[in-house]
Every structure is written in structure tokens, then in C-alpha cells.
Structure 1
Amino acid sequence: MRLLRNARLLGRDGAFDVEIDGGRFGRILPAGRGSGDTFLDAGGALVSPPFVEPHVHLDTTLTAGEPRWNASGSLWEGIAVWSERKRTLTHDDVVARASEVLRWYAANGVLHVRSHVDVTDPELVALDAMVEVRESVRDVIDLQLVAFPQEGIVSFDNGPELLEEAARRGVDAIGAIPHFEDTREDGVRSLKVAFDIAQRHGLMLDAHCDEIDDEQSRFVEVLATLARRGGLRSRATASHTTAMGSYNGAYSYKLQRVLARSGVNLVCNPLANLCLQGRFDGYPRRRGLTQVKEMLGAGVNVAFGHDDVMDPWFPLGTASPLQVALVGVAAAQLTGAAEIDEAFAMVTDRAARVLSLGDRYGVGEGRPASFVVLPAASPFDAVRRQTRPSHVVAHGRLVAETPAAPTRLTWPGRAPEDIDFVRERDR
């Protein structure tokens, strides 16, 4: 038996000792009452379940500028650039880039990742590579793969057959992109194809849905209805849904009821979509995000994701979930104290719900001993100060450490001091 000592836990007052036995959590006791050799002394720091990435494209990461830059910055040119880069994909190329970014994720405390993988490639090169990556990182990161039809299902030659083959090769979820199909009818049909494959293979569903500024793009209602009537419910996710930022009030009110009743998840990707959407607008220019605050208020589960890390759609990023949460706070106007705590949940607990992790996630007896130690007093504090995890632990094994690196300031009339950006009255 080993012991995590002096931990501040989410939703609990005081400090605690947490027993760790065989890679799993044991008892949680008041500080000083645990038994066993000290594995880690948190020193009163915040101990949280690991961060969760609910939406990224690992097969496209680290390709920004290859073979050319996305000059317009639009979603559509990004797809065109990727189509060119996709022709040069090799197995080793995908493995190397995806593995590098997964190491970044682990260093940032992200131990659960859902990656969409483009399957509009007759050879499925990226998919086979990502299946190999999933196996290679399993001792540290739980990686889910979504078969993503980047160029459509029914509007792409052999699209349904490629999705079916992806299901046979071992993906965790089936994707779709209904707003990219040739017609509204094709979009609806594509969702029905995706749901059918997901249900027959016992898989989850995660569709890129209404990622466009067109207020007439309303496929999310179709996805939610199929999920409710077919029983998939919370195992179905609508990602992006940026057209929701253009819906009128009456339709938005109806949609809140439809989504809440269905149990589906929404994933908002604030970094990428703030850059990609509104590219055809003059001023005023739309924000290009889903209705985060309103859907949370309606009881819909909403999470924040990266979407892209240095690729044709977004050229920046370090795989930091707290950066995503911070941008999400600003973009979705979640500036109340409780709302900022909620933004932290959107890259932890709420994102875990998107991945259907259940009892494989969380600090609780019998669950995997995977967690992060944050030098912060609260989720609010972690988001505000962007605190890097001091320790990242996967299944009871330390996988990453970040030593403290305070700024030393010499100020007129004061002795040299360390600056940690903590407000004096909060110490």
C-alpha cells in the first residue's frame, strides 16, 4: 500500500490521504490517518482526476504549413490543404506526429483522448497507424478513435463501405459530417448510415455537426432524435455545432428541449472555431461557437476540446487543456465564479462523460489511480493562473513532473521576492 498525502480534493473541504493499491485508489481518509509508504505528498495542492481531451485530430497534428499554409484561414481551405497533404501520408509519418502530441498531452496531465481519424482514404493509412498508436500508449493514455469521414459519407465514393471497414478494424466510435454532404437529404441519410453502423457494431457515435455559419444547417436535431429513438443517447456526441451561434431565439428554445431530452453530448472547440468561423462575415462578425452557456443551463452535457494542434485549421497549440478552458471562458462568456469552475469540469468530468468513461474515471475507491496534482487552491485558480501539473500519475505510476519555476522580482523598496500571481488575500 502506498499513500498520496495531504491532497485537496474537488468538492471536499480539508486535506486528505488517499491510499493507492496495485494501480487503483483505495480508501480516502482525513489527512494524517492514511497508512502506507508515502508515494507523493501533495502539500495541500489540488488533486484532480486527469484532464480529458474529447476532440482532436491526431492524424493531422504538426502539419501546419504542409504542403502550404491555409492563407484564408477558413475551414474550407483547411480541408483543401489537408486533402493535398493526405496524399503524402505514410504509416510512420502518422505514428511519429501523433505520438509526439500524445506525449505533450501526457505532460499536461491529459490521460484520456478521443481522436478523430480521417477515413476518406481507400487505403486507411492513418487509421491503421492510429490503431497501432492506441496500443503503444495504453499504459499511459486511454486513446479512443473515431472513424471520421472528412469528405462525406454518401457524397464520397464508397463512403459507407469505408466506415464499415473502419468499424471492423477496431475504432471506438463512428463519425459523420452531414453539413458537408452535397444536399440536406444526403446529410440526413449520412447520419442514418453512421448510426446504423455504430449500433450494429456496438460503438459510440461522434459527428462533426453543423460546423458552419449557416443558420439553416440544423442536423443536430436529427442526430439528437436518432440517438434518443435508437437508444444511443449519451453514447452519441455532436461536435462543433457552430451554426447554433446563428440560430434565432425561438428555434434555440426548441433545440434546448430536444437535446436535453435526448441525452446527447456537445463538444465545443473554442480555439479552432473562433479562428475558423465567421470568415465570410463583414462586421458585426459572429463568434462561431455553439450555445455553450444556454445548453449547460438546459441540462445538456457540454465539454471543451482542442480540435487541432498545429495543422491546416489551427497553426498553434501545445495540447494544454487549461488553455482551452481559459479561451472557452472568454469566448462563451463564462465569467461567473461558478461558471469558471464549470469550465474546468468541461476539460475533466464533463469531457469524461463524452467518452463514456464511467467508473474508469475519478478519484474514488476502486478506480484507476490516475490523477494530476495542480499547485492551485481551486479549479477557478487553476484556470486563472494556468497552473501546469506538478505531477501526473497514470495507474499509480508517475509519468510527468514539472518543477516549480517562480519568477524572481526585484522591486524598488522591497526585498527580492518570488511572484506567483496569487492575490494576497487568497493566500
Structure 2
Amino acid sequence: MVDLLIRNANLPDGREGMDIAVTNGLITAVEHDIPAEAGNVIEADRCLVTPPFVDPHFHMDATLSLGLPRMNVSGTLLEGISLWGELRPMLTRDAVAERALKYCDLAVSQGLLAIRSHVDVSDPKLITVEALLEVREKVAPYIDLQLVAFPQDGYYRCPEAADALTRALDMGVDVVGGIPHFERTMEEGRKSVETLCRIAAERGLRVDMHCDESDDPMSRHVETLAAETMRHGLQGRVVGSHLTSMHSMDNYYVSKLIPLMAEAQLHAIPNPLINIMLQGRHDTYPKRRGMTRVRELMAAGINVALGHDCVMDPWYSMGSGDMLEVAHMAVHVAQMSSMEDRRKLFDAVTVNSARAMGLEGYGLEPGCNADMVILQARDPLEALRLKATRLAVIKRGKLIARTLPRVASLNLAGRPETVDPASYAPGAGDE
């Protein structure tokens, strides 16, 4: 007897018609035709069952604050930072927590069950930290929420950031963050990377740094981040987020930089939706799109994950919590259209992101946590193409969200009565 049995599931690795057995919140078997009785049976009907989506880069303290106190008229990163500075004195703990919890509801409906959120620690009152620590506790039964102490206004540039960051870590924030390219000088940017990596090493914490989110090819703090990672023995525990300046760097320098990043075992997290929206704003034509070199980083063996970054906040007026939308955009911007490329980008919002966050028990093998999403698609490529409906979302073996299949009714003489988007793939319906 098992608690849950999912029958006839397709898996991201290409296995088809598999059964998944769950007991006590863990996957106990993944096989064909499991001969077991179950308290609950879900028929997948050859739909794709995947581990949950993971967003390794988000700003939950700002989410759903669009229009407060005004709109970002220029659409630039710098106006967004300025606008956040205007909003910050108006924030209350309850309002930040309520918006974050509302976003978490949306995330669950999208099968997004692990999020790493940067939390601004530039204000010494630490209202955002208090709010998101409360949210982390409340959503723990259904979302794995990591928090990053993020000095939005610069670790050295903001006089109160150093003390506030220390207090945030003492309060239980999980990860050390930074923003070296926003410091006043390149030298202070370098110093901030050195200091923040040292703090992380002393506390045994991970590092996730907004790094070189700029069109300036001379913004090269990721080089220092890689060097400091190795100096402090932090290999595999450090993320360089955004890395948009790599889009504009000359190829010779990049030929040195990428092997250095690989040696340091850095994780890279571009944010396709936001990077292409905010970068290149000072260009006329040709206009740079600003996303980092995803294909080249992957080819060098660097773990590349994709983040959503923002949803309806001072930097981005759109967004839906849909990590398939993020990967779908990456397919286009990175021009990664082959079958192999698209599978890699599906991994970038699932297994790669889980690896960047250091999540334990993630996957679809026996012994893993029974966290899964059933999609209205047959395989990862179809899921990406359709941004497939989440038919069922399961956390520790319990169904926590369900969406009806997307099927349209037609009234056309001589044509089918219904249209299922998944039926239009080449070979769909063929045995």
C-alpha cells in the first residue's frame, strides 16, 4: 500500500508510461506498472511529470508593487532603483508580507515550489527582512524559500548597509548578496566582492551576487568573484547573477573569463525577461539585448540556471510567475532552438536552478521528495513551446493545486469539436 500512485507518466529524461509511487512524502519507486494499491491514484495519461519549477533569482520584497508610488517612465534599471528608493520609506511589514504571500499563491499555481529571493538591506529598519522571514515560515509547507541579504544601494555606497547586512544574517537570512557594479568606483566594487565573500566563508554561507548588470564591457567584477570564490574555498556555493556585461565584452577577454568561472565552479543566473527589457536602453541601432552568453557558459560546463527576477514591480511591469515563460524567452534571445538546446533550457528552470540553490532531495528518483508537476504536454520541448498548463501540483505527495486542461470547443462544420494545443505536435496521436 502506498500513499499516492501516479500512473502512465512521461518523464523529462524521455522515459514514457512510467508509474511513480509515493509514501510518507518521498518517492519510493519509478517503474512501469507498479503492482501496488494506493490511497490516491492520479492518471497522468502520458502527460509530462517533472520536478517542480525553481526560481533561483527573484525580488519578493518588491513584487506586486507596480505603480507605487509611481511608474518607471524610462523603463531603465537606474530609474527602477531610484523608484524603489522612493517606495522604501513607505513600506510596512504587513504590506510587504501580504504582497509576497499573494505572489506565493500564484507561484504554487504555476508549479513553482522553490524560490531564492533577494531582500534589500539598505534600510537599517530591515522591514523587508522581517516581512520575508515571516513569509518564509508561513510558506514552508509548500515553498522552499531562500533569502539573500542584498545591499541594493551598494555595500560601501550606502553608509548603513554593512551593519544592516550583518544584522540580517544574524536574523537568519540564508545567503550573502552584493551589487559591486553599483558601488561608486570599480575599486569599491572589487572591495565589496572581497569583503562579502569573506563574510560568507566565515559564516559558512552561500553567495549570490548581482554581478555586472550593465552594458559596460569593462564591468568585470565576475572575475574578482571567481578569484575570491577560490581564495575562500567556496567552489560550487557562489552564484553570479545577471552577468549582462558579458554580452558586450570582447571575445578574447571572455576566452579567459569563462574558464576562470568554470575553475571556480560558479553558477550563472541570467534573467531573460528582465535582462532584455532593461539592457541596451542607451543604444539606438543596432540595439544590444543584454543577456549573457548562455550557450558558451553551458558549453564550458558551468551550471546555468534561469531566474524570473521581477513580477509587476519598479523594474518590470509584466510577469506571471511562469518559469516556462522565462525559458521560452531564453530560447529566442539566446537563439537556442535545437532540440538539445531546448532540453537544456528546460533543465535551466528545473534541475540546474535546484543545483544553484543547493536544494536537497530534488528530483524524480526513489528517495527524492515527492514534489512534482503534471503538465499538459508530452515532453519538455512541448511544455516549452506551449508554456503548458499545470494540471496538478504535488508537494510531499499531496495535491496542492490543480488546473483544468486547456481545451477549446469549436463550432465548425466538418471539423473537430475540440482543440487541445498538445495534439498539434508532429506525430501527436501516433502510436
Superposition TM-score, scaled by structure 2 size: 0.96
Aligned pair 1:121/2:127, yes or no? no
Task: After TM superposition, list the pairs within 5 Å mapping 1:142-153 onto structure 2.
Answer: 142-153=144-155
Measured in 2, the distance between the counterparts of 1:413 and 1:316 equals: 40
Q: How far is the alpha carbon of 1:256 from its aligned partner?
A: 1.3
Change (3 A) 1:415 1:18: closer
Contact 2:11-2:379 within 8 A present in 1 as well = no
Change (3 A) 1:228 1:344: same
Contact 1:17-1:34 within 8 A present in 2 as well = no
Q: How far is the alpha carbon of 1:64 from its aligned partner?
A: 1.2
Task: After TM superposition, list the pairs within 5 Å mapping 1:6-155 onto structure 2.
Answer: 6-155=8-157
Could you tell me which amino acid in structure 2 is paired with residue 417 of structure 1? T
Aligned pair 1:346/2:348, yes or no? yes
Measured in 2, the distance between the counterparts of 1:202 and 1:74 equals: 35
Contact 2:217-2:249 within 8 A present in 1 as well = yes
Measured in 2, the distance between the counterparts of 1:361 and 1:404 equals: 26
Measured in 2, the distance between the counterparts of 1:269 and 1:426 equals: 32
Aligned pair 1:250/2:258, yes or no? no
1:299-354 Cα shifts (integer Å, max 9, x gaps): 11111111100001000111001111101110111111111111111100000011
Measured in 2, the distance between the counterparts of 1:122 and 1:414 equals: 64
Measured in 2, the distance between the counterparts of 1:172 and 1:322 equals: 26
> Match for residue 179 of structure 2?
177
Could you tell me which amino acid in structure 2 is paired with residue 175 of structure 1? G
> Match for residue 376 of structure 2?
375
> Larger deviation: 217-226 or 27-36?
27-36
1:207 partner SS:
strand
Aligned-CA RMSD value? 1.3
1:231-289 Cα shifts (integer Å, max 9, x gaps): 11111000001001000010111111111111010001011111100111111111111
> Larger deviation: 249-258 or 405-414?
405-414
2:62 partner SS:
coil
Q: Say how many residue pairs are matched.
A: 426
1:221 partner SS:
helix
1:87 partner SS:
helix
Measured in 2, the distance between the counterparts of 1:134 and 1:415 equals: 47
Aligned pair 1:223/2:207, yes or no? no
Query: Of 156, 164, 167, which residue of structure 2 is paired with 1:165?
Result: 167
1:286 partner SS:
coil
1:47 partner SS:
strand
Task: After TM superposition, list the pairs within 5 Å mapping 1:262-301 onto structure 2.
Answer: 262-301=264-303
1:200-252 Cα shifts (integer Å, max 9, x gaps): 22111000000010010000011011112211111100000100100001011
Measured in 2, the distance between the counterparts of 1:325 and 1:10 equals: 15
Q: How far is the alpha carbon of 1:34 from its aligned partner?
A: 4.0
1:4 partner SS:
strand
Could you tell me which amino acid in structure 2 is paired with residue 362 of structure 1? G
Could you tell me which amino acid in structure 2 is paired with residue 390 of structure 1? L
Measured in 2, the distance between the counterparts of 1:32 and 1:397 equals: 19
> Match for residue 263 of structure 2?
261
Task: After TM superposition, list the pairs within 5 Å mapping 1:328-407 onto structure 2.
Answer: 328-358=330-360, 360-407=361-408
Measured in 1, the distance between the counterparts of 2:36 and 2:347 equals: 28
1:115 partner SS:
strand
Measured in 2, the distance between the counterparts of 1:13 and 1:411 equals: 37
Measured in 2, the distance between the counterparts of 1:364 and 1:222 equals: 38
Measured in 2, the distance between the counterparts of 1:197 and 1:40 equals: 47
Contact 1:19-1:28 within 8 A present in 2 as well = yes
Measured in 2, the distance between the counterparts of 1:75 and 1:314 equals: 9
Q: How far is the alpha carbon of 1:387 from its aligned partner?
A: 0.6
Aligned pair 1:325/2:288, yes or no? no
1:102 partner SS:
helix
2:342 partner SS:
helix
Measured in 2, the distance between the counterparts of 1:318 and 1:410 equals: 31
Q: How far is the alpha carbon of 1:197 from its aligned partner?
A: 1.6
Measured in 2, the distance between the counterparts of 1:44 and 1:249 equals: 45
2:198 partner SS:
helix
> Larger deviation: 159-168 or 339-348?
159-168
Using the aligned pairs only, state the percent identity: 40
Question: Which runs of 5 or more structure 2 residues have no equivalent in the other structure?
Answer: none
Question: Which runs of 5 or more structure 1 residues have no equivalent in the other structure?
Answer: none
Measured in 1, the distance between the counterparts of 2:357 and 2:406 equals: 34
Q: How far is the alpha carbon of 1:415 from its aligned partner?
A: 4.6
Measured in 2, the distance between the counterparts of 1:81 and 1:331 equals: 28
Change (3 A) 1:9 1:150: same
> Match for residue 205 of structure 1?
207
Measured in 2, the distance between the counterparts of 1:413 and 1:88 equals: 60
Measured in 1, the distance between the counterparts of 2:186 and 2:121 equals: 22
Q: How far is the alpha carbon of 1:65 from its aligned partner?
A: 1.3
2:308 partner SS:
coil
Q: How far is the alpha carbon of 1:91 from its aligned partner?
A: 0.4
Measured in 2, the distance between the counterparts of 1:334 and 1:265 equals: 19
Moved beyond 4 Å, runs of 4+: none
